[in-house]
């Protein structure tokens, strides 16, 4: 019998019963849930290696949107847990979307027992490999610097400051690669052999902030069945990367500042101060200086995190890098999806150059991934290039105000399109619900 903990989430009682009888012959622990209502809390306590996740839980609605939403939630909070999507509707576009959002694989009902066991076993192996890795793997495309002067200066600065322990604040529009830069700093620093822990603060709710960041002791609250070291503890001896630092509310900024000043944390439910040794890197797409001026960000915390400031230029200001980046992404996804020797034809390249890329490198990467999957005959043609509906074109001379207007319009359009369903809006815009809440508040929507 293979080792591994499997969580099955399916609203069909017959399927749950069948899998509860079948899977324990192949895996050490198997749990089932009839709906995703308790999914996140069950993952926190059961700690599965893999989740077999149904795509639909609402009668007569077969879009798979629920499955995609919960897939995103799992990967945001438990990236090491592998998710195998489970559906009776073998829609290639749904399968592609699930893979793009981090699904390990896709199983169609009625399933073949041998294939199901093989897929879940491979997912368990992947989960256990990933659980021991805190430094994220990056493709060659992800660390492409280009030949422009702006990025040459950025890299020169990074190479100078990486060996130090100075706090770094990385700013730039969404999709410019702030997370990649943070990982690069760690990879060439004196702490490169230590852990690298990345936290999307936009996905951490206010009520779970202290537990997630500082840890908790067993019995501190309902569901706390064991001690949890928190992100500061996990990063001890290495680098802690706090993404979307501008989304933290003031009362939690004070708690974060206290931890950074004292270089220690007290776990929720505990009394002992536990010291930590980290290098802090933060990132945001917001203007923290303006937030300080308007009173929504603490000035003392701003100075604490802003020893070194790195600003990443948007992709529309680096047009010479669009095609080289696109070709690197083609190489990456050709290998991932076993599509060999794919090339970009001239018309497709011209179409890429006409777009202003409000989503920056992340949008380009997503566009190329979709084109690689959908192309035929080893050539990406103009018709294979599709731009996201969730982004708007930004004028070449557009500044931050113009980008904000485009972002606000995209949010309002999505709200209208999905009838105010915030889960659907967040999914369409490819942001977390907490991030969406912050943007709704920002634009007074």
What domains are defined for the chain? 2-131 (3.40.50.2300), 141-311 (3.40.50.300), 315-384 (1.10.8.60), 400-442 (1.10.10)
Per-range mean pLDDT, top range of 286-290, 337-341, 412-416: 286-290
Q: Which residues pair with 242 in a beta bridge?
A: 199, 282
Q: Read off the pTM.
A: 0.58
Pairing of strands 264-266, 2-9: unpaired
**Tokens standing for 89?**
């509707």
Could you tell me which of 326, 332, 334, 335 has the C-alpha nearest to residue 355?
326
H-state helical runs in 206-320: 209-214, 230-234, 250-262, 288-294, 299-305
Contact 87, 94 (CB under 8 A): yes
C-alpha to C-alpha distances, 429 to 185, 333, 353, 373, 410, nearest whole angstrom: 29, 22, 23, 21, 8
**Tokens standing for 296?**
């929504």
Give the start-end residues of each E strand in 133-195.
168-171
Average pLDDT, the chain: 84
* Helix or strand holding residue 417 (H, E): helix 400-417
Q: What is the pLDDT of residues 308-322, one digit of tens each?
A: 999 999 999 988 889
* Helix or strand holding residue 41 (H, E): helix 39-46
CA 50 – CA 41 distance, rounded (Å) = 15
CA 268 – CA 293 distance, rounded (Å) = 32
User: Regarding predicted confidence, which is higher, 265 or 390?
Assistant: 265
User: Regarding predicted confidence, which is higher, 127 or 131?
Assistant: 127
Could you tell me which of 353, 253, 361 has the C-alpha nearest to residue 298?
253
Is residue 91 scored above 50 in pLDDT? yes
Quick one: pLDDT band at residue 92, thresholds 50, 70, 90? low
pLDDT, mean of residues 357-376: 91
Residue given tokens 């990025």 in the structure block: 151
**Tokens standing for 317?**
């200001």
Could you tell me which of 346, 342, 352 has the C-alpha nearest to residue 372?
342
Quick one: pLDDT at residue 396? 40
Residue given tokens 């489970």 in the structure block: 86
Instruction: Produce one character per residue of 60-96: b if its CB has 16 or more CB atoms within 10 Å, e if not.
Output: eeeebbbbbbbbbbbbbbbebbbbbbbbeeebeebbb
**Could you give the 3-state DSSP secondary structure of residue 86?**
strand
C-alpha to C-alpha distances, 210 to 186, 239, 255, 320, nearest whole angstrom: 25, 19, 8, 44
Q: What is the pLDDT of residues 142-152, one digit of tens each?
A: 456 766 778 88
Quick one: pLDDT at residue 135? 37
Quick one: pLDDT at residue 72? 86
Contact 240, 279 (CB under 8 A): yes
**Tokens standing for 399?**
């500044």
Residue given tokens 């939403």 in the structure block: 69
């Amino acid at each position: 019998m293979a080792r591994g903990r499997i969580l099955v989430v399916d609203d069909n009682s017959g399927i749950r019963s069948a899998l509860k009888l079948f899977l324990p012959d192949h895996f050490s622990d198997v749990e089932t849930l009839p709906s995703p209502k308790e999914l996140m809390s069950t993952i926190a306590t059961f700690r599965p290696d893999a989740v077999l996740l149904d795509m639909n839980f609402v009668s007569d609605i077969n879009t798979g949107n629920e499955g995609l939403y919960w897939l995103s939630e799992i990967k945001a909070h438990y990236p090491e847990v592998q998710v195998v999507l489970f559906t009776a509707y073998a829609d290639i576009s749904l399968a592609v979307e699930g893979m793009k959002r981090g699904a390990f694989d896709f199983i169609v009902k009625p399933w073949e027992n041998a294939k199901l066991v093989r897929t879940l076993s491979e997912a368990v192996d992947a989960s256990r490999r990933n659980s021991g890795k805190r430094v994220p793997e990056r493709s060659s495309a992800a660390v492409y610097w280009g030949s422009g002067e702006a990025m040459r200066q950025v890299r020169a600065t990074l190479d100078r400051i990486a060996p130090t322990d100075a706090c770094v604040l990385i700013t730039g529009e969404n999709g410019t690669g702030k997370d990649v830069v943070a990982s690069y700093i760690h990879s060439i620093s004196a702490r490169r052999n230590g852990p690298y822990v990345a936290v999307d603060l936009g996905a951490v709710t206010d009520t779970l902030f202290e537990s997630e960041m500082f840890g908790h002791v067993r019995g501190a609250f309902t569901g706390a069945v064991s001690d949890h070291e928190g992100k500061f503890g996990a990063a001890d001896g290495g680098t802690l990367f706090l993404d979307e630092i501008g989304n933290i509310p003031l009362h939690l900024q004070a708690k974060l500042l206290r931890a950074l000043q004292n270089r220690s944390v007290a776990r929720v439910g505990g009394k002992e101060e536990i010291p930590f040794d980290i290098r802090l890197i933060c990132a945001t797409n917001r203007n923290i200086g303006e937030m300080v001026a308007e009173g929504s960000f603490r000035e003392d915390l701003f100075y604490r995190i802003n020893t070194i400031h790195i600003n990443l230029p948007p992709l529309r200001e680096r047009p010479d890098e669009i095609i080289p980046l696109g070709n690197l992404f083609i190489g990456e996804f050709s290998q991932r999806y076993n599509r060999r020797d794919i090339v970009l034809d001239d018309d497709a390249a011209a179409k890429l150059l006409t777009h202003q890329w409000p989503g920056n490198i992340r949008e380009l990467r997503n566009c190329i991934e979709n084109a690689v999957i959908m192309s035929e005959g080893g050539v990406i043609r103009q018709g294979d290039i599709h731009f996201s509906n969730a982004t708007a074109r930004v004028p070449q001379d557009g500044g931050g105000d113009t980008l904000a207007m485009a972002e606000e319009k995209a949010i309002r359009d999505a709200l209208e399109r999905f009838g105010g369903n915030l889960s659907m809006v967040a999914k369409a815009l490819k942001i977390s619900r907490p991030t969406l809440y912050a943007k709704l508040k920002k634009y007074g929507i």
